[in-house]
A = this chain, B = another copy of it.
Amino acid sequence: MRPIGIGIVGGGYMGKAHAVAMSAVGAVFETNLRPRLVKVCATSPESAERYRAAFGFEGATDDWRDLVADPAVEAVIIASPQSTHRAIAEAAFARGLPVFCEKPLGASLADSKAMVAAAEAAGAVNMTGFNYVRTPATQEARRLIAEGAIGDVTWFRGEHTEDFLADPDAPANWRTRDRASGAMGDLAPHMINCALALMGPIAALSAVIETVHDTRPGPDGPEQVANDDHAQMMVRFAGGAMGHLYFSRTATGRKMGYAYEVHGTKGSIRFDQEDQNSLHVYLREGPEAGRGFTRILTGPAHPDYAAFCQGAGHGTGYLDQIIIEARDFLRAIETGKNMFPTFRDGMEVNRVVDTAWASSASRSWVSIEG
């Protein structure tokens, strides 16, 4: 075991999550690399200092350049807004540091391409923060599909639906003010990544992206909403299967509707993050009278569960995904071998998002050029 200095840019929602995960991951997974919380960066010296104290970092700064340049920082976690991802990542790669970057990778496909190029040029470890593919249940789903347990997949339906803007009278805020924070920009990437992880590349799609509530109460009367509330797309996977994706922040009643169902010739799988410790699997085998969807409670028999608890059904939660992610990032650093999802995988998500915008604008099917 040896310590590794961690710098985190951002101390908000995800900055905190990564700070907690880096504090816990060593004991949970008995990792060889043991994180040391070296420095946290935020937009002001005051907030940075507050995060430092709260999360237990050694130092704080309001300039990410300072963090990236700190010799004690041996790995960088980017948990600041999308617009900042590229510059920070490029600087870190320039020093040859491993970089973990929150989703979506770049604020645009161009940014993501540049980030991939920088990572690959530096030969540095890189990972994108799609934590939801790391629940034991979704890892198991991925494994089952890859192993052919449900045969050839014929249909994939995925959604990421929440309801934080379901109320038309909810006031305008940062979430309604730029394209990157809309349903396609902010919610879609997780489920697109999941679709790619489970199904492989998307070959073509036909999308509709729209704003349901055009204006929202602003400080000075109705304010124009700058981004999309929900979006859907029909997709064709390169492997041949057909699919559908839906993203919404106006899905009244949905709190964490990261959900998918997959039909295969031999079986089917259903998952819903709102019950993240269950995977529902149907196998077309055995007598008809005994068939049905089996609700499998995740447990030590499933990927990455046992480290959290020795008993099945005792359950993992949101933070545990981030801890698994932290373990994978440390493992990649230790071995020098990138793990899914890399920056390249993150870039592929941007590509799908970009293509969806093009399709929605032209109201037509658009192919995705690889």
Contacts and interface: CB of A to CB of B under 8 A. Distances in A.
Contact of A290 (B34, B56, B294, B315): B294
Nearest to A284: B252
Given A16-B27, A56-B27, A296-B292, A251 B263 contact: yes
A317 B312 contact: no
Contacts of A277: 274-276, 315, 317
A1 to B, nearest CB: 6
Given A166-B284, A317-B316, A27 B19 contact: yes
Interface in A17-40: 17, 19-20, 23-24, 26-28, 30, 34
A50 to B, nearest CB: 9
B157 A246 contact: yes
Interface residues of A, number: 93
A200 interface: no
Interface stretch (A72-80, A98-106, A301-309, A328-336): A301-309
Contacts of A164: 311
Contact of A268 (B168, B251, B275, B290): B251
Contacts of A273: 313-315
B154 A212 contact: yes
Nearest to A314: B318
Interface in A24-62: 24, 26-28, 30, 34, 53-56
Given A251-B263, A252-B264, 7 more contacts: A17-B309, A20-B24, A154-B230, A253-B291, A256-B314, A276-B277, A281-B290
19 contacts: A20-B24, A20-B27, A23-B24, A155-B230, A162-B311, A168-B265, A208-B234, A208-B242, A232-B242, A232-B244, A252-B266, A253-B267, A253-B292, A274-B313, A276-B315, A281-B290, A295-B295, A316-B318, A364-B364
